[in-house]
A and B are shown apart, each in its own frame.
Chain A
Amino acid sequence: MLRITGGKIYDPASGINGEIRTLYIEDGRFVASGEGGRTIDAAGMIVFPGGVDVHTHVAGGAINFARAMTPEDHRRTQAFIRSQTRRSGLGGMAPTTFATGYLYAGMGFTTVNEAAVPVLSARHTHEELSDIPIVDKSSLVLMANNELLLDQLDAGEYERARSILAWYIRAAGSWGIKAVNPGGVAAWKWGGNAGQLTETVDGFRHVTPGTIVASLARMCHDLNLPHPLHLHCNNLGAPGNVSTTLETLRHLEGHRAHIAHSQYHAYGGDDWDTMRSATSDLADWFNTHDNLTTDAGAVLFGDTVTITADGPWQHLLYRLTGRKWGNLDVENETGCGIVPYTYRPGHLVNAVQWAAGLELLLLIEDPWKVFLSTDHPNGGCFWRYPEILELLMCADYRQECLRQLPDRIRSRILLPEIDREYSLYDVATAMSAGPAQALGLPRKGSLAVGCDADVVIYEEDDNIRRMFSHPRYVIKSGEIVIEDGDIRETPDGREFLVQPHCDPDTETFIRPLFEDCYTMSFDNYPVEPHRIPRAEIHHRPASP
């Protein structure tokens, strides 16, 4: 039994906004009452459900490629020194696995969603995820450029494609599906891209990015997946791309979806010289449609490394910057590109990106619809989230930051006119309750009885960045893992997997197609769930 008394409770999932209540914890969950055990006196403190990151890149072939490409950053970053109970590691732009767990937990986050997993290397991703301590994990499998699935869509075989999708989700040990630049990454296999939603994808006869988006969103619904389609739209990063993004949203035909890192998809203008923020167009759509959630993909100034399955975009970024370029095309499934990048306040495009991320977080009115993210490490590293919270909670600080930017920026952004400030309740929603609900993760993002006892307790502080960077206590599944800035315990987290219904003949159907185009034996391909440590498997019957 652990009791937390006297703290101001912020639990948006239960509608509790700053009331003083007592929390009771037993066997890793919240319970209604109890006696004995330890009591944390949280008088004068703020109590949140543990943070949930809806979209991050912390494990697998892509981030591990980025680690290989950035030794110069490892050498200048913070290092975790080993102890008898704690492993060593490095922080920085692409933190090592053990450090990833310590850094997330140290900031009060207790659940993270790895947003991009190829099936072919899913075994690797799970091995890395199990080496990330403390936090619970889920992952999304990359699907919008899978050639076996696209072939079926091309042939008009929707139901067959859906069975293949269900089979792949099970094979990858995933929690849902991610679509990256639908059709564009498949076209990149020949050096091309896909920018128009209604144009046939290179190498196919009928299928278009639009049909891929519509079909996948419908399949997520049919398969009754806990998380809807997680969508990285076409034309990421390009000036004027807001029209593509809005057209993509129309192609969803009312189905649910989560739009990833929408900052990168909210630009007006015709080219790099005229690029401007078009976040109000996108925010209007979110404010008037209830089938959608999004995460900001906010940008912070400084060094980072960009990682995405969007291979053609990364080729362009390499040519624009002349910096290192990593590319890894994954047979029949997806791609991946890596380019180190520095966001500079004096650079007009970067300044627009910085403003656009904050604008989306502030202009989308309902914090249940827009969540905190930097698309780690793309817009900035996850351990910099407290900087974003300070920008969201203090309009004065925002104005101060705006004064550091070139004057010409003002006509291209909306941020100077926005005076909204996030309340603590808004922060708890955008950082925990909202993403947990969107992910469909059971028992996360809430302090209600029966939920996982993941709690973060902050000492009230006028310095917002300091407050959110250094929680007084972090509790994971009822265990105090951080206390007074020290890592106390490093328990292993769980991994959430979903197993949708899959027609029994699917495997017989896929096998010959697979053997024709893959280089691995079919029987070795699916990840065996028993080889994923601490997996929590959720079976889902199909939607009626």
Chain B
Amino acid sequence: MGGKVTCTLGEVKNRADFIVYWGGNPAECHPRHFTKYTLMQKSRWLPRGRKDRTMVLVDIRETKSAKAADIFLQVRPGCDFELLSILRAMVRDEPVDPDAVAETGIAYDVLEDLVRRMKSCRFGCMFFGMGLSMTRGKHMNSAALLTLAAELNAFTKFVAMPMRGHGNVTGADVIMRWQTGYPFGITFNRGYPRYNPGEFSTVDVLVRGDCDAAFIIGADPGATMPQPAIDHLARIPTIVLDPHVTHTSRLARVHITTAPAGIAAPGTAYRMDEIPLPLKPALKSPYPTDEEIVRRIREAVATRPFWMPEDSPQMTTEQL
């Protein structure tokens, strides 16, 4: 199984009477999520708003978001994949091993109640955060949750959506996909896009020390990446475009201050559900936009000799 059964946030606002947050803490990380989209909004089908909705939180600890939940399920750390697999079996009325259930830290009758609610709601939505997708099991956890959502459609309407953040990361993902076919982890070193997360992802390239220059726009890997990656950034010529002084800009060879997007630079940002929003700047900035800097660098690079051999083929049907 693969794929993703999802919707835009307005569908959740208008229809979702059953909402699950799994491995995320929206109350602190996406503070407007409850009020704008998931819990507080009223609609023609949910006229009483919060009262017409049930919210379940699944996490390894009781965060501030638990206060907003009707049901809080504390899963034992590292057991998300097992719990999701048990739920998938229960949805299909298949028997589950009581010992395996006990391992998850949640009682069988609580899960039975959850499954009953999932199958009998009118429109269910599961949001999942990095507590699911970046812990033991990683993308397999996300796949298990997405599969559970897909399979629930045999009984009722059910969708799922990752909780993404960090500025316009969705926009980068969307555009890389239409230009290269892949969302991230791409190399162009043979003249066409190739994809291999774990090999070509930024962090892996830096940790291995494979690149001899870095160009960083609107991100601060110096604050989040493992030390060997940061050390490599400090070693090579690193160029940072950022409105602010950041951990990365401090270790960079060059920091070009740019106008902040959405405040002083126009453009398009993509919301977590991939809806494009126009950015309408309210202020003028003395600094150039990221776009302008990139364009000028590109023009300057174009005056240098082209790096690929003159007689390169136009096309290959034998990707290596």
Chain A residues within CB distance 8 Å of chain B? 59, 61, 64-65, 67-69, 71, 74-84, 86-90, 92, 94, 96-98, 120-121, 123-124, 127-128, 131, 189-191, 315, 318-319, 322, 324-332, 338-339, 486-487, 516-520, 524, 528, 531
Interface CB pairs A-B, < 8 A, 10 = A71-B181, A74-B195, A78-B317, A79-B193, A82-B192, A96-B179, A190-B123, A339-B3, A487-B314, A524-B277
How far, in whole Å, are A81 and B312 apart by their CA atoms in the complex? Answer: 8
How far, in whole Å, are A315 and B312 apart by their CA atoms in the complex? Answer: 44
Instruction: Tell me how far the C-beta of A321 lies from the nearest C-beta in chain B, rounded to whole angstroms.
Output: 11
Interface segment among B8-16, B208-216, B240-248: the answer is: B8-16
Q: Assign chain B's interface to a size class.
A: 35 or more
How far, in whole Å, are A74 and B181 apart by their CA atoms in the complex? Answer: 7
Instruction: Tell me how far the C-beta of A22 lies from the nearest C-beta in chain B, rounded to whole angstroms.
Output: 31
Interface segment among B57-65, B91-99, B100-108, B268-276: the answer is: B268-276
CB atoms of A124 and B174 under 8 A apart: yes
Contact pick for B319, options A59, A75, A131, A332, CB 8 Å: A75
Interface flags, B296-308, vs A, CB<8A=1, else 0: 0000001000101
Give the residue name and chain of the B residue nearest to A91 (CB): B315
How far, in whole Å, are A516 and B194 apart by their CA atoms in the complex? Answer: 44
Instruction: Tell me how far the C-beta of B92 lies from the nearest C-beta in chain A, rounded to whole angstroms.
Output: 13
Known contacts A328-B7, A519-B13, A524-B277: A98-B179 contact under CB 8 Å:
yes
Q: Is the interface of A mostly helix, strand, loop or mixed?
A: mixed
Q: Which chain A residues border B302 with CB–CB below 8 Å?
A: 84
Interface segment among B21-29, B152-160, B282-290: the answer is: B152-160
Interface residues of B in 1-46 (CB under 8 A from A): 1-11, 13-15, 36-37, 43-44
Q: Which chain B residues border A123 with CB–CB below 8 Å?
A: 268, 276, 278
CB atoms of B3 and A81 under 8 A apart: no
Q: Which chain B residues border A82 with CB–CB below 8 Å?
A: 188, 191-192, 308
CB atoms of A69 and B193 under 8 A apart: no
CB atoms of A83 and B312 under 8 A apart: yes
Contact pick for B181, options A81, A90, A128, A517, CB 8 Å: A90
CB atoms of A519 and B36 under 8 A apart: yes
Instruction: Tell me how far the C-beta of B227 lies from the nearest C-beta in chain A, rounded to whole angstroms.
Output: 31
CB atoms of A79 and B10 under 8 A apart: no
CB atoms of A519 and B191 under 8 A apart: no
Instruction: Tell me how far the C-beta of B219 lies from the nearest C-beta in chain A, rounded to whole angstroms.
Output: 21
Known contacts A68-B183, A89-B193: A325-B274 contact under CB 8 Å:
no
Q: Which chain B residues border A190 with CB–CB below 8 Å?
A: 15, 122-123, 157
How far, in whole Å, are A276 and B10 apart by their CA atoms in the complex? Answer: 41
How far, in whole Å, are A182 and B153 apart by their CA atoms in the complex? Answer: 21
Instruction: Tell me how far the C-beta of B319 lies from the nearest C-beta in chain A, rounded to whole angstroms.
Output: 6
Chain B residues within CB distance 8 Å of chain A? 1-11, 13-15, 36-37, 43-44, 122-123, 150, 153-154, 156-157, 159, 174-175, 177-183, 188, 190-195, 268, 270, 274-278, 280, 302, 306, 308, 312-317, 319
Q: Can you list the 5 inter-chain pairs with the closest CB atoms, starting with the nearest?
A: A331-B10, A329-B7, A79-B192, A324-B3, A81-B191
Instruction: Tell me how far the C-beta of B239 lies from the nearest C-beta in chain A, rounded to whole angstroms.
Output: 22
CB atoms of A326 and B268 under 8 A apart: no
Known contacts A71-B195, A518-B10: A524-B278 contact under CB 8 Å:
yes
Instruction: Tell me how far the C-beta of B18 lies from the nearest C-beta in chain A, rounded to whole angstroms.
Output: 13
How far, in whole Å, are A437 and B270 apart by their CA atoms in the complex? Answer: 36
Q: Which chain A residues border B3 with CB–CB below 8 Å?
A: 69, 318, 324-327, 338-339
Q: Which chain B residues border A327 with CB–CB below 8 Å?
A: 3-7, 150, 159
How far, in whole Å, are A92 and B182 apart by their CA atoms in the complex? Answer: 13
Instruction: Tell me how far the C-beta of B266 lies from the nearest C-beta in chain A, rounded to whole angstroms.
Output: 9
Q: Which chain B residues border A486 with CB–CB below 8 Å?
A: 314
How far, in whole Å, are A338 and B157 apart by their CA atoms in the complex? Answer: 17
Q: Which chain B residues border A65 with CB–CB below 8 Å?
A: 4
How far, in whole Å, are A59 and B36 apart by their CA atoms in the complex? Answer: 29
CB atoms of B179 and A97 under 8 A apart: yes
Instruction: Tell me how far the C-beta of B94 lies from the nearest C-beta in chain A, rounded to whole angstroms.
Output: 17
Known contacts A71-B182, A324-B2, A519-B8: A81-B315 contact under CB 8 Å:
yes
CB atoms of A121 and B275 under 8 A apart: yes
CB atoms of A80 and B314 under 8 A apart: yes
Q: Which chain A residues border B280 with CB–CB below 8 Å?
A: 524
Most buried by A among B270, B302, B314: B314
CB atoms of A331 and B11 under 8 A apart: yes
Give the residue name and chain of the B residue nearest to A123 (CB): B276
Instruction: Tell me how far the C-beta of B286 lies from the nearest C-beta in chain A, rounded to whole angstroms.
Output: 25
Q: Which chain A residues border B6 with CB–CB below 8 Å?
A: 327-329
CB atoms of A121 and B274 under 8 A apart: yes
Known contacts A324-B1, A326-B5, A331-B13: A67-B316 contact under CB 8 Å:
no
Q: Which chain B residues border A77 with CB–CB below 8 Å?
A: 317, 319
Known contacts A59-B178, A189-B15, A331-B14: A78-B1 contact under CB 8 Å:
no
CB atoms of A191 and B312 under 8 A apart: no
Known contacts A81-B316, A330-B8: A128-B178 contact under CB 8 Å:
yes
How far, in whole Å, are A87 and B175 apart by their CA atoms in the complex? Answer: 14
Known contacts A78-B315, A80-B314, A81-B316: A97-B275 contact under CB 8 Å:
no
How far, in whole Å, are A65 and B2 apart by their CA atoms in the complex? Answer: 12
Q: Which chain A residues border B308 with CB–CB below 8 Å?
A: 81-83
CB atoms of B306 and A79 under 8 A apart: no
Instruction: Tell me how far the C-beta of A87 lies from the nearest C-beta in chain B, rounded to whole angstroms.
Output: 8
How far, in whole Å, are A290 and B184 apart by their CA atoms in the complex? Answer: 50
How far, in whole Å, are A257 and B51 apart by their CA atoms in the complex? Answer: 46
Q: Which chain A residues border B37 with CB–CB below 8 Å?
A: 519
CB atoms of B315 and A90 under 8 A apart: no
Q: Which chain A residues border B157 with CB–CB below 8 Å?
A: 189-191
Q: Which chain A residues border B153 with CB–CB below 8 Å?
A: 191, 315
Give the residue name and chain of the B residue nearest to A81 (CB): B191
Known contacts A69-B2, A189-B15: A97-B195 contact under CB 8 Å:
no
How far, in whole Å, are A326 and B314 apart by their CA atoms in the complex? Answer: 33
CB atoms of B306 and A84 under 8 A apart: yes
Give the residue name and chain of the A residue nearest to B150 (CB): A325
How far, in whole Å, are A315 and B314 apart by their CA atoms in the complex? Answer: 39
Q: Which chain B residues border A528 with CB–CB below 8 Å?
A: 278
CB atoms of B195 and A75 under 8 A apart: yes
Q: Which chain A residues border B192 with CB–CB below 8 Å?
A: 79-82, 88-90
Instruction: Tell me how far the C-beta of B196 lies from the nearest C-beta in chain A, rounded to whole angstroms.
Output: 9
CB atoms of B14 and A517 under 8 A apart: yes
How far, in whole Å, are A319 and B151 apart by their CA atoms in the complex? Answer: 9
Q: Which chain A residues border B43 with CB–CB below 8 Å?
A: 516-517
Q: Which chain B residues border A328 with CB–CB below 8 Å?
A: 6-8, 274
- Sample of 13 more A-B contacts, CB < 8 Å, known A71-B195, A121-B276: A68-B177, A69-B4, A71-B181, A77-B319, A78-B316, A83-B308, A84-B306, A189-B15, A329-B159, A487-B314, A517-B13, A519-B275, A524-B277
How far, in whole Å, are A84 and B315 apart by their CA atoms in the complex? Answer: 14
Known contacts A64-B174, A528-B278: A331-B7 contact under CB 8 Å:
yes
How far, in whole Å, are A174 and B37 apart by their CA atoms in the complex? Answer: 29
Contact pick for B8, options A83, A315, A329, A338, CB 8 Å: A329
Instruction: Tell me how far the C-beta of B44 lies from the nearest C-beta in chain A, rounded to whole angstroms.
Output: 8
Q: Which chain A residues border B150 with CB–CB below 8 Å?
A: 318, 325, 327
How far, in whole Å, are A516 and B46 apart by their CA atoms in the complex? Answer: 12
Give the residue name and chain of the A residue nearest to B316 (CB): A79
How far, in whole Å, are A513 and B223 apart by their CA atoms in the complex? Answer: 44
How far, in whole Å, are A337 and B113 apart by their CA atoms in the complex? Answer: 30
Q: Which chain B residues border A524 with CB–CB below 8 Å?
A: 277-278, 280
Instruction: Tell me how far the C-beta of B189 lies from the nearest C-beta in chain A, rounded to whole angstroms.
Output: 11
How far, in whole Å, are A457 and B15 apart by their CA atoms in the complex? Answer: 54
Q: Which chain A residues border B182 with CB–CB below 8 Å?
A: 67, 71, 74
CB atoms of A331 and B4 under 8 A apart: no
Most buried by A among B181, B270, B274: B181
How far, in whole Å, are A486 and B7 apart by their CA atoms in the complex? Answer: 42
